[in-house]
Amino acid sequence: MAKQKQDDGQAPKLTINDIARMAGVSKKTVSRVINRSPLLNRETRDKVEAIIQETGYVPNPQARALALGRNFLIGLIYDNPNVQMILSMQKGILEALHGTEFELVIRPVDRGSNLVMDDIRGFVTRQRLFGVVILPPMSENDALARMLDEEGCRYVRMGSAVLDDAEHMVASNDREAVADAVRHLIAQGHRRIGLIAGPHGFRSAQERREGFELALTEAGISLPRSLIADGQYTFESGISASESLLDLSPRPTAIFASNDEMAAGVLYAARLRGIAVPEELSIIGFDDTPVTTRVWPPLTTVRWPIVAMGRAAALKLIGTAIGEGAEVNEPSMFSSTLIRRASVAPPPAS
């Protein structure tokens, strides 16, 4: 029955009882101090807080989790292949969580598997997660949102447009961003502009396509079906999709690819055919990933504030928990910027 004091570590592991004893109050009173209960005498609070400061006591998260029936863990759920995006999101979320008691737990899921729902349900209920951030395209799954509602798990959905569930969304305005990019091409004099679309079923792909069509319609430019090619958001699909466009006669003088990977694929395909970029072909991508500056010429692209959005999502989740008076009111709609590099030029004189 000897207290295990120096058994392995030298950290004596203070508990709430130790603090209570030192302060000469009950453990419940210490608990009140920790949880900022309003019905506390000022003196008592100060005394206990001083001791907590002094000793560096930190409540045991496991015990809290058990008593509260809720953990201080935020889950990050994704089924997305885009590593850059995942890591930037992760970065933003972690920035917001830094200094709080929250930790980030990663959960990649297997899109397509029909066990996904049960998998996620088990994840959030077993771990009693405080909340989750869902990355696209999984975030577009309304059934998932309903399930989380049922389970009483908070969530924020990242997206390329505000869906019905606006309350839980942090979104970028992809449509308008793409329209701006295409307007830029039109302003340079381009009229035959090709589109490499993203995969069917991705909301972002749809939004970007709509933005593309919007800009052309505004300018009164017709869009033959042949100028649209389907891609899968991968480099390889960018190469193969652009081949059908580059074989056209007359060839498009510019191509908007729905993400940077595919834009890099266009550049690659153009080089294989000896087509000069940007002299004979202008290219614009989307995401502003590092690859845009590694290739030659550096690619004009659209930058969306992923890190800031990740931060906003996390704050939105934990805001109610740490909101000390000021209601955390993060913007839910973020806008993107056209980054002009060297892959756009006026079309060649025909």
Partner DNA sequence: TTATTTCATGACACCGGTGTCCAAAATGGA
Partner DNA sequence: TCCATTTTGGACACCGGTGTCATGAAATAA
Q: How far is CA 97 from CA 36, 137, 148, 204, 315, in A?
A: 20, 24, 21, 27, 8
Q: List the one residue out of 249, 207, 210 whose CA is nearest residue 227.
A: 249
Provide the minimum distance between the beta carbon of 40 and DNA in the complex, in angstroms, as a whole number.
4
Residue 336 sits in the site that holds a copy of itself (CB under 8 A) = no
Find the binding residues for a copy of itself in span 254-313 (CB under 8 A). Answer: 264, 268, 271, 290-291, 293-296
Q: Is 155 in the site for a copy of itself (CB under 8 A)?
A: no
31 binds a copy of itself (CB under 8 A): no
Q: Does 55 bind a copy of itself (CB under 8 A)?
A: no
How many CA atoms does the CB half-sphere of 158 hold within 13 Å?
Answer: 30
Residue 106 binds which one of DNA, a copy of itself, none, with CB within 5 to 8 A depending on kind?
a copy of itself
Q: Does 40 bind a copy of itself (CB under 8 A)?
A: no
290 binds, among DNA, a copy of itself, none (CB under 5 to 8 A by kind): a copy of itself
Integer Cα distance of 48 and 225 in angstroms = 72
DSSP string computed for 157-184: EEESS--S-GGGEEEE-HHHHHHHHHHH
CB 116 within 8 A of CB 109: yes
State the DSSP code for 227.
G
Q: Does 62 bind a copy of itself (CB under 8 A)?
A: yes
x/- track of binding to a copy of itself for residues 98-117 (CB under 8 A): -----xxxxxx---------
Q: Which two tokens stand for residue 40?
A: 């506390």
User: Which one of a copy of itself, DNA, none interacts with residue 25, CB within 5 to 8 A by kind?
Assistant: DNA
What's the rounded Cα separation, in Å, for the pair 28 and 81? 48
- Beta-carbon contacts of 301 under 8 Å, excluding residues fewer than 6 positions away, are 260, 263, 284, 285, 286, 287, 288, 289, 292, 338, 339, 341
CB 257 within 8 A of CB 277: no
Residues 6+ apart with CB under 8 A from 286: 174, 177, 178, 181, 208, 257, 258, 259, 260, 263, 301, 302
Tell me the closest approach of the beta carbon of residue 261 to DNA, in angstroms: 45
What are the residues binding DNA (CB under 7 A)?
A: 1, 13-17, 24-32, 34-35, 39-41, 43-45, 59-60, 63-64, 66-69
The item of a copy of itself, DNA, none sharing an interface with residue 109, based on CB under 5 to 8 Å by kind, is none
| Cβ at position 105, least distance to DNA in Å | 19
Return the one option of a copy of itself, DNA, none that residue 253 interacts with (CB less than 5 to 8 A, by type): none
15 binds, among a copy of itself, DNA, none (CB under 5 to 8 A by kind): DNA
Note whether 91 binds a copy of itself by CB under 8 A.
yes
Q: Residues in the site for a copy of itself, rule: CB under 8 A?
A: 8-11, 13, 58, 60-63, 65-66, 71, 73, 83-84, 86-87, 90-91, 94, 103-108, 122, 125-128, 150-152, 235, 264, 268, 271, 290-291, 293-296
